[in-house]
Structure formats: C-alpha cells, structure tokens
C-alpha cells in the first residue's frame, strides 16, 4: 500500500509495466551486482501472455527486499529500471550473450556498475489469473472527473441480467498501479473482479493516476485526492443503465482501505465498504509499527530498535509542527543532526545514517518526509472517517500481514465503528494470509512473487457472500 512506503523505515507496494520488449531475453532473470559495496539483486519478470515486463530490486544487507520497479524498459541491447520510492535506478547495456549488464547506478549522481546474470528464475505460475471465455461482459471504459482535469481508463465487467445490478469499484494500495493492481506478477484485482462478476456483481477497476489510460498529477496528490478520483468513478457508474445507482460499493486494498472511507464520508452514494488491510489506526501509528518490523528484518536488537524509534518520533513531530514544506525543509537538517549526535556511532553506521553512503540515505529519508502524500498519511486519523460510517462495512486482514498489523488494525476498525453507532459491520482476521491475502509461510514481502496463489479462495468467498447478503 499502496502501502505503505518502504525502505529503511517503511514497506510499500508499487510496480509498473515494461513498454519495449526484448524477445531474446529470457522471461525471468536474476541479476546481481554491487554499488559502493552494497549488494543489489535485480529480478526481471516477463508475463508470458502480455509479454510485459515488471521487476523488483533487493538490497539484502539493508533488509530491503522486493522493492518494486516503477519504470522498466528492455530492448535487444539495453535495460533501464527506475524506482520511484528511492528516486534512483540503473541504466546499462547487455554484452553479446546477455550475461552481463554494464552501466551506471543513478541516484543523486552516477556510479559505474555491472550486473551479472545469476540464474534464470523459475517461470511464474499464476493459476488464478482469469482466462476466457467469460460469462459476463467485459468493456474497456473511459470517463473524466467533473472539471475534466483527469481522464480515467478502466475495465467494467457486467454480468448478464435483465435488471440493474449492484456494482463495486476496486481501489488500489499505495503507489501507482494499473487497474489489475499488478504486483509481483499477480493481478489481484482481475481475480477479484472475475469472482464477483461470476456471482452477479458488476465491477469497475481503474488505472491509477499516471498509469495506463489515466492522466492526472501524482507528485502532489494525497489520499484525499484519490478519494475524489473514486467519486468520479461512482458518478460514471451512476450513468450506466446496467448499474443500480443505490447499490454501488467500494473495495479498497491497503491505502485503498483509507481512500474508501474518505470517499464515503463525502458522498451519500456509497452503499457499503470492504476494507482489505485498510487503516483502522492513525497513519503515524502504522508508520511506527512498520518501521519496527523493518528494523527487526534488518537484524537490529531490541535496544537498537528502541533508539531508532526516536528517529521515527522526530520525523512525525517535524511533519506535524511544520505544515509549510519550506519550513519543514529548513527545520529537518538541524533537528536530525542534533538527534544523530546523541546516538551510538556504531548504530548510526549500521543504520547507514553515518559513514559511506549515508548522505544519500538521509536525503531520501528527508524527501519522503516532505512528500505531500506522506505528510497526509502521517496525519490521517480514522476517527475522521471510519467513526462516521453508518453504511455496512466489512474489514478483513491477514494475520501474517507484516505491513498492516492485523490485530492492531482490526481493533481500530471495531473501536471506530462502535463509536459511529454502526449496526452492520463485520471484522474478520484470516489465519495464514499475508498483506496480499495469499496463503503464506512468514508473510514477508520476499514471498509475494514466489507464492503461486494470487488471493486465497476463502478471502474471495467472504467478500462475495458478505456483499451478496447486502444487495438485491
């Protein structure tokens, strides 16, 4: 969540497609190299049907695994990969037998680098990806928001029916994702749409801003802006004669579970909400929990984690104290340097906040703190949204979710829905499922691509039965 941000301090999910194919590059390859002594692993995946590429970057020594590649281009002689979350990437050329990539690592400067192909990855199996023929109508659709500033591209699946149908809009997690919420070779929103439409529910899934057929500003957008995007989709569905305008619901995954309540409190047209690992706690609380999990994965001791929590508290407080971004930038450096000067030098080196490469790590950390999206996320309080919901709500979480803690999150939903006086809600904790609602061993991000299952059937059944019980 996507979401939500992940590097040294936070996890996230975001990924995008390749636009130029190199047919003589094997479908799935793993590349290993080092930059400034830091081992990096590049995982390149080509979908065998669409021939589109995606990929992830691992930094094992930093405990950062499965960082999604945002932009990737592969030609017969070159490869370029860029990651929005770290504001950096690699650009290089293949040798004759495509066993090496020689080029530069670009992140605040250019550093020469060589990636060597380690091994061909096992072809990905995604048995749940829908295959035709379909027992429903599938239509590519385009519509705009009220002021025509954004054009949205999506897919609408409509079951055969002689009367208007209930419908849902699917809302992706953090980061820019396509209408299928394509992640690590999985297409969970396509799987959800197919399942629901086979059970009589129309589904609209939409490309996020700046992805596919959807336009719009992303850099300065927050979850509140994305909620307005969802409401544009609601207006579009209301214009379709096949759709019952009084039975339009929202299903949000990760950050989408924040966006759905934001949209619902703005509009009386939302009939119900399904939150898939959405936030039932303050954004700052989730940030702290994700940071702790990240430090644990990096091998920090309990004492070291307690010290590092102070940095998270500092960033949250700075974001709260300085609403003006220029003031925040001015305040960040002296506050951070003062905090660092009081910490054990060995730990600061271990956290890459001191020594070689630390300047770039700090620059990235500051950049994330200044982002409008992050500032909004840290300030988000479900008391302003979930505690006002009187429509039916289903909140589900996987118990092995390492990005949105199930116990903490679902307890928050229960608390706020009770405060709202909501009499129709259901809270479900699903054993053995991760953040993507796959059946998992550990729940770690590193497992997402390895698991063949896209969404556990029990999660699909719970959502479908719950929705069907609340619509005609």
For residues 330-339, average pLDDT: 93
Question: Residue 26's pLDDT is what?
Answer: 67
3-class secondary structure, 123: coil
For 198-254, what is each residue's pLDDT tens digit?
999 999 999 999 888 999 988 889 999 999 999 999 999 999 999 999 999 999 999
Q: Which region, left, alpha or beta, applies to residue 177 given φ > 0 means left and ψ of -120 to 50 means alpha?
A: beta
For 17-71, what is each residue's pLDDT tens digit?
223 334 456 668 888 988 876 788 888 887 666 677 888 888 765 556 677 888 8
Question: Residue 251's pLDDT is what?
Answer: 98
Q: Is 142's pLDDT higher than 60?
A: yes
CATH class of the 28-120 domain in this structure: mainly beta
Could you give the percent of the chain with pLDDT greater than 70?
Answer: 90
Pairing of strands 38-46, 28-35: antiparallel
Q: Band of the pLDDT at 1, cuts 50, 70, 90?
A: very low
Q: Band of the pLDDT at 8, cuts 50, 70, 90?
A: very low
Question: Residue 273's pLDDT is what?
Answer: 98
Q: Which of 435, 358, 439 is nearest to 401 (CA)?
A: 435
Question: Residue 410's pLDDT is what?
Answer: 97
**433 class by beta-carbon count within 10 Å (0-12 exposed, 13-18 middle, 19+ buried):** buried
Q: Is 107's pLDDT higher than 60?
A: yes
Question: Residue 131's pLDDT is what?
Answer: 93
> Among positive and negative, which fits the CA dihedral 20, 24, 29, 31?
negative
Is the Cβ–Cβ distance between 118 and 30 less than 8 Å? yes
Question: Residue 70's pLDDT is what?
Answer: 85
Place of tokens 């059970």: 199
Which residue did the predictor score with more confidence, 410 or 59? 410
Q: Band of the pLDDT at 466, cuts 50, 70, 90?
A: very high
Lowest mean pLDDT across 6-10, 72-76, 298-302: 6-10
Question: Residue 168's pLDDT is what?
Answer: 98
For 391-401, what is each residue's pLDDT tens digit?
999 999 999 99
For residues 302-309, average pLDDT: 93
Cα distance from N-terminal residue to C-terminal residue, the chain: 32
3-class secondary structure, 116: strand
Question: Residue 229's pLDDT is what?
Answer: 97
Q: Which of 76, 80, 96, 22 is nearest to 52 (CA)?
A: 22
For residues 416-428, average pLDDT: 97
For residues 353-363, average pLDDT: 83
Is the Cβ–Cβ distance between 174 and 3 less than 8 Å? yes
Question: Residue 123's pLDDT is what?
Answer: 58
Domain 136-282+380-468 has CATH 3.40.50.1820: yes
Which residue did the predictor score with more confidence, 97 or 316? 316
3-class secondary structure, 101: strand
Is the Cβ–Cβ distance between 73 and 80 less than 8 Å? yes
- Mean pLDDT, all residues of the chain: 87
For residues 271-295, average pLDDT: 92
DSSP 164: -
Highest mean pLDDT among 51-60, 288-297, 363-372, 446-455 belongs to: 446-455
Q: Is 83's pLDDT higher than 70?
A: yes
CB atoms within 10 A of CB 61: 14
Enclosing H/E stretch for 29: strand 28-35
Domain boundaries of the chain, sorted by first residue: 28-120, 136-282+380-468, 283-378
Question: Residue 4's pLDDT is what?
Answer: 37
Question: Residue 27's pLDDT is what?
Answer: 67
- Concatenating the DSSP letter of every residue in 390-424 gives -S-EEEEEETT-SSS-HHHHHHHHHHHHHHTT-SS
């Amino acid at each position: 969540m996507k979401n939500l941000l992940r590097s040294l301090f936070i996890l996230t999910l975001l990924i995008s497609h390749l636009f130029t194919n190199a047919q003589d590059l094997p479908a799935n390859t793993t590349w290993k190299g080092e930059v400034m002594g830091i081992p990096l692993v590049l995982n390149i995946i080509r979908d065998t049907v669409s021939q589109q590429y995606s990929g992830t970057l691992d930094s094992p020594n930093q405990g950062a695994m499965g960082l999604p590649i945002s932009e990737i281009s592969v030609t017969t002689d070159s490869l370029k990969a860029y990651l929005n979350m770290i504001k950096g990437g690699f650009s290089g050329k293949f040798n004759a037998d495509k066993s090496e990539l020689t080029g530069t690592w670009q992140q605040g400067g250019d550093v020469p680098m060589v990636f060597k192909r380690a091994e061909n990855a096992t072809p990905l199996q995604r048995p749940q990806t829908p295959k035709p023929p379909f027992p429903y109508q599938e239509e590519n659709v385009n519509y705009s928001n009220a002021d025509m500033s954004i054009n949205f591209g999506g897919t609408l699946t409509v079951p055969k029916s002689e009367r208007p149908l209930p419908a849902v809009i699917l809302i992706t997690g953090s980061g820019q994702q396509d209408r299928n919420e394509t992640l690590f070779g999985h297409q969970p929103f396509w799987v959800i749409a197919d399942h629901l439409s086979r059970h009589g529910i129309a589904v609209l899934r939409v490309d996020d801003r700046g992805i596919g057929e959807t336009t719009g500003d992303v850099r300065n957008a927050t979850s509140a802006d994305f909620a307005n995007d969802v409401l544009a989709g609601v207006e579009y569905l209301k214009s379709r004669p096949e759709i019952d305008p009084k039975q339009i619901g929202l299903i949000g995954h990760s950050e989408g579970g924040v966006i759905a309540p934001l949209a619902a409190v703005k509009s009386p047209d939302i009939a119900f909400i399904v939150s898939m690992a959405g936030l039932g706690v303050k954004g700052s609380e989730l940030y702290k929990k994700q940071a702790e999990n990240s430090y644990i994965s990096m091998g920090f001791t309990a004492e070291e984690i307690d010290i590092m929590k102070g940095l998270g508290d500092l960033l949250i407080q700075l974001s709260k104290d300085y609403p003006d971004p220029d003031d925040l930038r001015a305040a960040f450096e002296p506050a951070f340097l003062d905090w660092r000067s009081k910490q054990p030098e060995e730990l600061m080196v271990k956290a890459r906040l001191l020594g070689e490469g630390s300047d770039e790590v700090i620059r990235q950390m500051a950049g994330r703190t200044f982002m409008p999206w992050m500032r909004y996320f840290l300030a988000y309080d479900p008391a302003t949204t979930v505690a006002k919901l009187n429509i039916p709500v289903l909140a589900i979480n996987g118990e092995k979710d390492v990005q949105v803690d199930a116990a903490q999150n679902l307890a928050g939903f229960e608390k706020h829905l009770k405060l709202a006086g909501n009499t129709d809600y259901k809270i479900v904790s699903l054993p053995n499922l991760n953040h993507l609602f796959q059946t998992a061993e550990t729940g770690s991000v590193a497992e997402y691509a390895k698991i063949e299952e896209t969404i556990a059937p029990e999660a699909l059944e719970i959502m479908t039965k719950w929705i069907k019980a609340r619509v005609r």
